[in-house]
Chain A
């Protein structure tokens, strides 16, 4: 199956494969945890039954998605050692502590309070349960903080020195953590997670509104999701633009690849809308271009000169075709999401948010758009960093483990089979839950768990108060 592939290429394929599967789950659970906290907070505040029904509805889905995120995440944390041992040895003193802090401040927090969040509403009472939900939501955000700091350090290393063993060591921890690309990446990723979740919630709401416009749950979730898309999509596009400018400053070759600029443009670079980058020939074939627009976007001046990959040694070129296309997919979807938000705003203003079928069909079609955009964005930033693992300092070929190709090929095949078998089943279970709308008296993940401790008076166990909603 993989004859002729060397161990490094196989290890890269394995990382790309396992990472692509993994990132989908946290992207969803970061947003969903915050959404659940909002729903529970609204329920406690207003007492409306619709909010606790929605909370329990999405909690069941969260339980499945979170579990898949956990098990695929453990694979990531050990893969650094198994497949990228030279990387682990060299960067362990810098990256290792960031990941250790992720475990200590985020993973334990999420895991410790998850059980109470999933099964403990009747055992601990409303306020403590809300605290547990908030802790889980906070944990997902803290996790994003540390792992994106570690990733950003690999993109824009700062605050380091190199010791006698050839290891990176920290010279200034604040500079390591708050390295130049980190704030931009963190904002861009967290907003992406929120949008991804909003699009899923909106699609599920739209799906049920198409069948019955009067269902309370779908109306509320669709409206909330569309507010999110309306307000956050433009902010995200702005954040992405700022992230791009930051990349231009610190990783110019990545921006050249994203833009398809093989050649330098001394008096204003065109924006290549589409084309076929030809890495061997070093040019973009059949390019459709808008003159000088790239200089305007990146330098805020029509005639500003922009360097191309012809100024970069060829052995340091990132793979342009992948970076170029994944970037366009991400940006295209970003504008489509903003379009959905604007259409919903117009529909809301006209008072037809729950009746306007084309909007619901559009929202349904956009359900997976967040996942695709997140994956495309990650492919852009990770392939754009190549051929380096630590940008400019450690080449990917120097980072791999001293393993025989058959070992890596076998584990890659095993992961492909297991991931498709396990995670497709999980997605089917999630879709099955989504297929029915939230209803009156919606139950949490399992009603049989709160087998109460002997001799303990149960906390006020009124989950559904029929007074409102």
Chain B
């Protein structure tokens, strides 16, 4: 079963793809929630909400595909990781509840001080930190015995997982800020540009910190990155990060509204590829490989048929929905 391109490998890429699409698409939604307190004006907040109101639900659905797909394609990994990440997962779900209902509720409340704006920020921040912490906790490995998680319910909490939690909050913030550059104009966009500068440097710092800390977690990570001939595959990643950073700095300096968001996405993609290089071929690092966790082939093939037909279709109509709501969002008074 250890072929390079068998069905389990294909499924590992499909799940990784779903999680990546979730990270970047809900990433800018959650980033907007995190940045919300920096925009105290109601008019600005209304515009910010309206930039994502038509699409946030679709963005979040990728999380359900990531989770549901993992249960279907790698049930053992799902069964081990979810109890290991119990507290971050529950925190993420509760954060997503507050964030999700805020989209509608904030227009329905009669009170002047909108408590659903607080729920939007609190929920976004909680969900983001929980996702980042979960990522760190997976990377540092979990205690497995037989087919079960065998650790305690606070094992996930380490300085490293806190670092990844904060790093993700910075990264989502950058996605949110560059999204606003893309979707707004005037003073709101100017402020988004200033935040993008700040958050880009913070994100570079965060990428650096996580990259330095990861090889110390486990000798396998260090060997993966720094031994010959792996270097041929791994060295292009930091080089590409540097290249994208230069382009991103230039697009911010030249105020090309439509560029920074997509370059920030590229930065995420590279960081994500780096994670994949570190983890491969484990799905639960250092204990369960994708082949050990894989569903029987007939389950994976049964779903593959659906994925092959439906994912292109989904990307098609999701793209159409984004197209329908394309362009700059203006305050109600400002458009004619």
Contact = CB atoms under 8 A, between A and B. Distances in A.
Interface string A84-120: 0110111111111101111111011111111110111
Contacts of B147: 89, 165
A151 interface: no
A429 B108 contact: yes
B153 A74 contact: no
A71 B65 CA distance: 14
Contacts of B320: 112
In which size bucket is the chain A interface? 35 or more
A263 B87 CA distance: 46
B299 interface: yes
Interface stretch (B27-35, B68-76, B163-171, B238-246): B68-76
Given A71-B100, A111-B60, A422-B97, A453 B327 contact: yes
Interface stretch (B88-96, B212-220, B271-279): B88-96
Interface string B98-132: 10110111011100000000010000000000000
Prevailing SS type, chain B contact patch: helix
Contact of B149 (A63, A68, A402): A402
Given A81-B82, A88-B75, A404 B321 contact: no
B69 A100 contact: yes
A102 B311 CA distance: 13
B108 A120 contact: no
A82 interface: yes
A418 B108 contact: no
Contact of A449 (B54, B97, B150): B54
A120 B324 contact: yes
Contacts of A99: 68, 71-72
A468 interface: no
Nearest to B296: A169
Prevailing SS type, chain A contact patch: helix
Contact of B325 (A73, A102, A119, A165): A119
B223 interface: no
Contacts of A73: 64
B50 interface: yes
Interface-central residue, A74, A75, A109, A447, by most chain B CB under 10 Å? A74
A6 B182 CA distance: 52
A418 B98 CA distance: 9
Interface in B197-224: none
Interface string A263-277: 000000000000000
Interface in B285-336: 295-296, 298-299, 302-303, 306-307, 310-311, 314, 317-318, 320-321, 324-332, 335
A163 B75 CA distance: 14
A123 to B, nearest CB: 5
A94 B73 CA distance: 10
A104 B104 CA distance: 25
B259 to A, nearest CB: 18
A110 B69 CA distance: 18
Contact of B148 (A85, A100, A418, A446): A85
A407 interface: yes
B323 to A, nearest CB: 9
B188 interface: no
A432 B108 contact: yes
Given A165-B147, A169-B296, A448-B50, A105 B82 contact: no
A451 to B, nearest CB: 5
B302 A173 contact: yes
A81 B78 contact: yes
B50 A78 contact: no
A369 interface: no
Given A104-B314, A108-B318, A432-B108, A80 B71 contact: yes
A239 interface: no
B86 to A, nearest CB: 6
Contact of A454 (B64, B296, B327): B327
A82 B81 CA distance: 8
A65 to B, nearest CB: 9
A172 B218 CA distance: 43
A407 B65 CA distance: 26
B44 interface: no
Shortest beta-carbon contacts, A-B, top 5: A92-B75, A96-B72, A115-B54, A81-B82, A453-B327
9 contacts: A80-B82, A99-B68, A103-B69, A115-B55, A173-B302, A411-B87, A429-B104, A432-B108, A451-B50
